């Protein structure tokens, strides 16, 4: 199993707006081979800290996703988001191999 976290910080007063965006996400990633699950996590102490967690069967499945046209399409939509403060936020990406369960 391979897990990818993309953590980003938004102004706390905009957290709910971002959460709503993810609640109505395109779900293009869900169609990719090896996709297992998607979650948006909110830090309970710092509500403006959000983490997208995507779980894959294996690393190559993730690589196939990030090199796909669908991935580019999803991220182009983000760049065109009307709130430029939110559109300019760059996530910190961490990748994990599951080594024990």
Tens-place pLDDT, residues 11-47? 999 999 889 988 988 898 999 999 999 999 999 999 9
Tens-place pLDDT, residues 64-97? 999 999 888 887 766 666 676 776 788 999 999 9
Higher-confidence residue of 22 and 3: namely 3
Instruction: Write down the pTM of the prediction.
Output: 0.87
| 12 contacts: CB under 8 Å, gap ≥ 6 | 46, 47, 48
Domain boundaries, the chain: 2-97
CATH number of this structure's domain 2-97: 3.30.70.100
| 38 contacts: CB under 8 Å, gap ≥ 6 | 25, 29, 30, 52, 53, 54, 55
């Amino acid at each position: 199993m391979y897990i990818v976290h993309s953590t980003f910080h938004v102004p706390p007063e905009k957290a709910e707006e971002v959460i709503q965006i993810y609640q109505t996400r395109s779900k293009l990633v869900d169609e990719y081979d090896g996709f297992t699950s998607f979650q948006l996590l909110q830090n309970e102490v710092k509500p403006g800290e959000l983490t997208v967690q995507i779980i894959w069967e294996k690393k190559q499945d993730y690589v196939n996703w990030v090199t796909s046209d669908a991935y580019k399409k999803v991220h182009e939509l983000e760049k065109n988001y009307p709130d430029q403060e939110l559109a300019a936020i760059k996530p910190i990406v961490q990748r994990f191999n599951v080594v024990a369960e």
